[in-house]
């Protein structure tokens, strides 16, 4: 049996943030790269719809347990939210970009706002350190102690003490999510409430 690359398993470590490891039916958004699609296949979903291959029109409303997006396009998020079954989850990888490029969805704070405006609940932001592809740890940003402990781990590297100090200052000021280079947001469709149009 050939050994699977660790990078594929790391790319789907976010599955442990879900209440159930059985992901059921999964839809993968139009911007998902080949590595993410290959990693999702490792989860052995009941069905995997890759939007880049089949298109959103083939995904029925209320038929998906988990929607995985790379980046956060508001139109695609609305399609993903409508595709979710009640209690289903959206997981979106967020890559920091310039504010002028995507003003409504820039960074983790914009992504959190976008998921909430789509009617999702239990929205949480996570920092993937050092980045999404080689993630060594997923740090919940609502857990100040977890963020602080992660920052302290970097004090031994070049400019680490300075970066750690700046990060702790941003954390105290409530601005830390603005500096996270790569992370994710996770949100759940309510069990009974209809999704906004």
- CATH number for the domain including 132? 3.40.50.150
Write out the two tokens for 196. Answer: 């906004």
Return the closest-CA partner of residue 128 out of 152, 112, 113, 146: 146
Distance CA 14, CA 184 (A): 9
* pLDDT at 119 exceeding the cut of 70: yes
136 within a domain of the structure (yes/no):
yes
Question: What confidence score (pLDDT) does residue 74 get?
Answer: 84
Each residue of 105-116: pLDDT tens digit?
568 888 888 899
Each residue of 140-170: pLDDT tens digit?
888 777 777 766 676 566 666 666 666 666 6
Question: What confidence score (pLDDT) does residue 143 get?
Answer: 76
Count the neighbouring beta carbons within 10 Å of the beta carbon of residue 176.
Answer: 22
Q: Give Cα 108 to chain centroid, integer Å.
A: 9
| Whether the Cβ atoms of residue 197 and residue 125 lie closer than 8 Å to each other | no
- Sign of the CA dihedral running 100, 178, 9, 73: negative
* pLDDT at 99 exceeding the cut of 60: no
* pLDDT at 127 exceeding the cut of 90: no
Got the DSSP string for 28-65?
A: E-TT--HHHHHHHHHT--SEEEEHHHH-GGGS-TT-EE
The structural domain count of the chain equals: 1
β-partners of residue 110 are: none
66 within a domain of the structure (yes/no):
yes
90 within a domain of the structure (yes/no):
yes
Distance CA 88, CA 23 (A): 9
Count the neighbouring beta carbons within 10 Å of the beta carbon of residue 61.
Answer: 12
Boundaries of domain holding 30:
6-140+180-188
Each residue of 20-77: pLDDT tens digit?
989 999 999 999 999 999 999 999 999 999 998 888 999 999 999 999 999 888 889 9
More confident residue, 131 or 165: 131
Question: What confidence score (pLDDT) does residue 192 get?
Answer: 74
103 within a domain of the structure (yes/no):
yes
Q: What is the mean pLDDT of residues 99-107?
A: 54
Return the closest-CA partner of residue 52 out of 79, 26, 25, 31: 31
146 within a domain of the structure (yes/no):
no
Compute the residue count for the chain.
Answer: 197
151 within a domain of the structure (yes/no):
no
97 within a domain of the structure (yes/no):
yes
In the three-class reduction of DSSP (H, G, I as helix; E, B as strand; rest coil), residue 122 is classed as strand
Question: What confidence score (pLDDT) does residue 3 get?
Answer: 47
Q: What is the mean pLDDT of residues 108-126?
A: 91
Per DSSP bridges, beta strands 137-140 and 47-50 are unpaired
28 within a domain of the structure (yes/no):
yes
In the three-class reduction of DSSP (H, G, I as helix; E, B as strand; rest coil), residue 7 is classed as helix
Weakest mean pLDDT among 92-101, 127-136, 182-191: 92-101
* pLDDT at 103 exceeding the cut of 60: no
């Amino acid at each position: 049996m050939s050994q699977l690359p660790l990078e594929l398993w790391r790319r789907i470590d976010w599955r442990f943030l879900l209440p159930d490891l059985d992901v059921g039916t999964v839809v993968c958004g139009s911007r998902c790269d080949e590595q993410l699609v290959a990693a999702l296949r490792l989860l052995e979903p009941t069905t995997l719809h890759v939007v880049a291959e089949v298109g959103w029109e083939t995904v029925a409303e209320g038929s998906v347990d988990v929607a995985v997006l790379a980046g956060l396009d508001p139109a695609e998020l609305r399609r993903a939210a409508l595709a979710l079954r009640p209690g289903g989850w959206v997981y979106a990888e967020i890559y920091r970009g310039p504010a002028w490029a995507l003003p409504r969805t820039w960074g983790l704070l914009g992504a959190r706002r976008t998921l909430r405006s789509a009617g999702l609940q239990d929205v949480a932001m996570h920092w993937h350190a050092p980045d999404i592809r080689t993630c060594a740890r997923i740090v919940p940003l609502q857990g100040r102690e977890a963020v602080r402990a992660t920052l302290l781990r970097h004090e031994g590297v070049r400019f680490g003490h300075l970066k750690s100090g700046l990060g702790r200052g941003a954390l105290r000021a409530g601005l830390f999510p603005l500096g996270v280079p790569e992370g994710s947001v996770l949100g759940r469709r309510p069990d009974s409430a209809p999704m906004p149009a």
